[in-house]
């Protein structure tokens, strides 16, 4: 049981580092002032899910879910 806890802790640390890097790589929601004039409706604005930014958002969501699940598992195993 202690080996599983050690492995989960190592995976948890890797997820924490990956999540931090991915969040820092993403652009802010107010990155461009063109959104005020409606310039956000370009090709890249419409297909954001297929772009690199959309991929980063998806990976961030999955890592955040994994972070919460592993944190809960590690917390429950302390009892």
> Is residue 49 domain-resident?
yes
Count structural domains, the chain: 1
Please indicate, yes or no, if residue 48 is contained in any of the structural domains.
yes
What is the pLDDT tens value at each position of the chain, 79 positions in all?
889 999 999 999 999 999 999 999 987 766 555 555 555 555 555 566 578 888 999 999 999 999 999 999 999 977 6
Residue 67: what pLDDT? 97
Within a domain: residue 13?
A: yes
Domain extent, residue 65, equals 2-24+38-76
- Calpha distance 5→13 (Å, rounded): 12
- How far is the CA of 54 from the CAs of 3, 4, 6, 16, in angstroms? 36, 33, 33, 20
The model carries a pTM of: 0.71
Maximum separation of any 2 CA atoms in the chain, in Å: 58
Domain presence at residue 30? no
63 within domain boundaries: yes
């Amino acid at each position: 049981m202690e080996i599983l806890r050690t492995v989960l802790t190592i995976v948890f640390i890797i997820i924490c580092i990956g999540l931090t890097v991915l969040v820092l790589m993403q652009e802010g929601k107010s990155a461009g002032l063109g959104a005020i004039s409606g310039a956000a409706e370009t090709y890249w604005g419409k297909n954001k899910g297929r772009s690199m930014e959309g991929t980063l958002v998806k990976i961030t969501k999955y890592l955040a879910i994994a972070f919460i699940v592993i944190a809960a598992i590690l917390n429950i195993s302390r009892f």
